[in-house]
């Protein structure tokens, strides 16, 4: 693992993501090294084209100083205009191309320091904060999170089988620990959601495994879920086969290829809608929702 520090010119970046006005990524790269990760494309913008995704992390060491100035500027903008995608409250999303609570956060605390700045800002009641992570480390900051009124923490969970997680999310914390983290956050009164994605092909072959995943999410106290289909465009299938192909059976490889077809996505989407309804959960977003809307 190559770990380095660098200076960032900006931290609070205008976003094109739906439902987010700004994104915050205190780190470049991600040590979790998930083989399906879409953020791998960022290597060409950060000087890491020769490095394998998951094998490097750059900590933007001046994040707190830059972020504090940008929050001050945002305060003026909110007071003057109040024109944002989501209405009067701009949404700041932590973790669009990196995990804000990956292992190096334990050392540098860049995400934590940004959240502390928000708790002291004039507009903490007039912004919405969303964090998405795969790490139980987020529970370290529960007391800080509780001080931000309009905040939600999302936990990405693609399986409740830790053996499967180890194959596809090489160095990420086990899914079982993520479920426990959700429970701890919910017990602390923090709003949460589960990001079920990407949906791995074994779910089509084993519906009960998918049902068990959603059941465990519900038992953690989380009510809202996003669900995202697997996207293997732009050479990601070849990358996946190159990295873990020797750990997959011929049938599993076939399912990965089929997972990109409309027929497959329709079947999986309908399966999820039925399970969510059965368990009384709320499906609030993700490509599964988009796919269902297009099918109507």
| Mean pLDDT, rounded, for 162-188 | 91
- The pLDDT tens digits of the residues spanning 204-250 come to 668 898 999 999 999 999 999 999 988 877 677 777 777 777 877 78
Q: Which of 13-17, 49-53, 103-107, 226-230: highest mean pLDDT?
A: 103-107
| Mean pLDDT, rounded, for 245-258 | 80
75: cis peptide before it, omega within 30°? Answer: no
Query: What is the structure's pLDDT at 179?
Result: 96
Domain ranges of the chain: 1-155, 157-296
Query: What is the structure's pLDDT at 89?
Result: 85
Confidence of residue 79 (pLDDT cuts 50, 70, 90): low
pLDDT at 85 over 80: no
Rounded Cα distance, 291 and 109, in Å: 38
Confidence of residue 86 (pLDDT cuts 50, 70, 90): low
Contact (Cβ atoms closer than 8 angstroms) between residue 158 and residue 139:
no
Coil/strand/helix, residue 194: strand
Identify the CA nearest to 203 among candidates 252, 168, 239.
252
Q: Which helix (H) or strand (E) covers residue 175, if one does? A: helix 175-187
Contact (Cβ atoms closer than 8 angstroms) between residue 38 and residue 96:
no
Which of 161-165, 172-176, 292-296 has the lowest average pLDDT?
A: 292-296
| Mean pLDDT, rounded, for 158-164 | 83
Query: What is the structure's pLDDT at 147?
Result: 98
Contact (Cβ atoms closer than 8 angstroms) between residue 167 and residue 244:
yes
- The pLDDT tens digits of the residues spanning 20-30 come to 999 999 999 99
- What is the average pLDDT score of the chain? 89
pLDDT at 87 over 80: no
List, as one string, the DSSP characters of 101-153: TSTTHHHH-HHHHHHHHHHTSTTTTS-EEEEEES-GGGGGGHHHHTT-SSEEE
- Percent of residues, the chain, with pLDDT higher than 90: 56
Residue 130 CB contacts under 8 Å (≥ 6 apart), including other chains: 20, 91, 92, 93, 94, 151, 152, 153, 154
Query: Taking the model in full, what pTM does it have?
Result: 0.90
């Amino acid at each position: 693992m190559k770990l380095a520090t660098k200076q960032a010119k900006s931290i609070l970046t205008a976003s094109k993501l739906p439902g987010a006005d700004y994104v915050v990524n205190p780190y470049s790269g991600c040590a979790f090294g998930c083989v399906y990760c879409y953020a791998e494309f960022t290597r060409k913008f950060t000087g890491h084209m020769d490095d394998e995704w998951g094998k490097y992390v750059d900590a933007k060491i001046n994040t707190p100083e830059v972020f504090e100035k940008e929050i001050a500027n945002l305060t003026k903008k909110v007071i003057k205009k109040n024109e944002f995608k989501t209405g009067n409250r701009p949404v700041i999303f932590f973790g669009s191309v990196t995990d804000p609570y990956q292992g190096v956060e334990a050392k540098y605390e860049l995400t934590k320091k940004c959240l502390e700045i928000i708790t002291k800002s004039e507009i903490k009641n007039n912004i919405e904060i969303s964090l998405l992570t795969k790490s139980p480390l987020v529970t370290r900051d529960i007391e800080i999170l509780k001080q931000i009124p309009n905040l939600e923490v999302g936990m990405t969970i693609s399986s409740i089988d830790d053996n499967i997680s180890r194959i596809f999310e090489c160095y990420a914390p086990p899914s079982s620990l993520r479920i426990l983290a959700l429970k701890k956050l919910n017990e602390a009164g923090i709003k949460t959601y589960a990001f079920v994605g990407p949906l791995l092909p074994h779910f089509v072959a084993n519906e009960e495994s998918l049902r068990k995943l959603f059941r465990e999410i519900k038992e953690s106290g989380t009510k809202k879920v996003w669900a995202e289909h697997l996207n293997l465009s732009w050479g990601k299938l070849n990358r996946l086969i190159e990295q873990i192909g020797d750990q997959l059976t011929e049938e599993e490889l076939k399912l990965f290829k089929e997972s990109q077809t409309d027929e497959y996505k329709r079947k999986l989407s309908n399966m999820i809608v039925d399970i969510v309804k059965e368990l009384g959960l709320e499906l609030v977003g993700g490509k599964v929702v988009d796919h269902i809307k297009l099918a109507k």
